[in-house]
Amino acid sequence: MTFSPLLHAGAGPLDSPLSHAGAGPLDSPLSHAGAGPLDSPLFHAGAGPLEARLWSALAEIDDPEMPVNLVDLGLIYGVTVESGRACVRLTFTAMGCPATEMLMSDIRERLLAEPGIEEVRLDVVWDPPWTSARLTADGREALRAWGLSV
Partner 1 sequence: MESQNSATFEGLLKRGELIESASEMTPDYLRELKHTLIVSGDTELISAPAYYLAARKAPSVNAFMTAIAIIQDELAHAHIAYHILEELGESQEALIFKRDPKAFRYPYAFDVPLESWTELVVANAMYDQAGFCLLGDIHEHGSYGPWKRGLVKVMAEENFHLRNGRNWSKRISQAGGAAKEELQRAVDWMFPLTVEWFGLPDNLKQHSAQLNYRLKGLTNDQLRQQWLSTVVPFMESIGIRVPAHKEGDGYVLDYPFPCTFHADEKRWDFKDPCSWDAVLKRWRARGPRNAEMVALFQESFAKFQVRA
Q: Which is nearer to partner 1, 64 or 129 (CB)?
A: 64
Q: Nearest distance from residue 88's CB to partner 1, in Å?
A: 17
Alpha-carbon gap, residue 21 to 19, rounded angstroms: 6
d(CA 117, CA 102): 20
From the CB of 71, what's the least distance to partner 1, in Å? 18
How far apart (Å, rounded) are the C-alpha atoms in residues 122 and 147? 31
Measured from the CB atom, is 115 or 147 closer to partner 1? Answer: 147
**Residue 22 or 96 having the CB closest to partner 1:** 96
Q: Which is nearer to partner 1, 32 or 108 (CB)?
A: 108
Q: C-beta of 62: minimal distance to partner 1 in Å? A: 9
Closest contact distance (angstroms) between CB of 63 and partner 1 is 9
SS3 track for 77-137: EEEEEECCEEEEEECCCCCCCCCHHHHHHHHHHHHHCCCCCCEEEEEECCCCCCCHHHCCH
Query: What does the binding site for partner 1 look like in residue numbers (CB under 8 A)?
Result: 64-67, 96-102, 105-106, 147
Q: What share of the chain is helix, strand, coil (3-state, %, to 5)?
A: 30, 15, 55
C-beta of 46 vs 147, nearer to partner 1: 147
Minimal distance, residue 125 CB to partner 1, in Å: 16
| C-alpha closest to that of 76 among 94, 60, 55 | 55
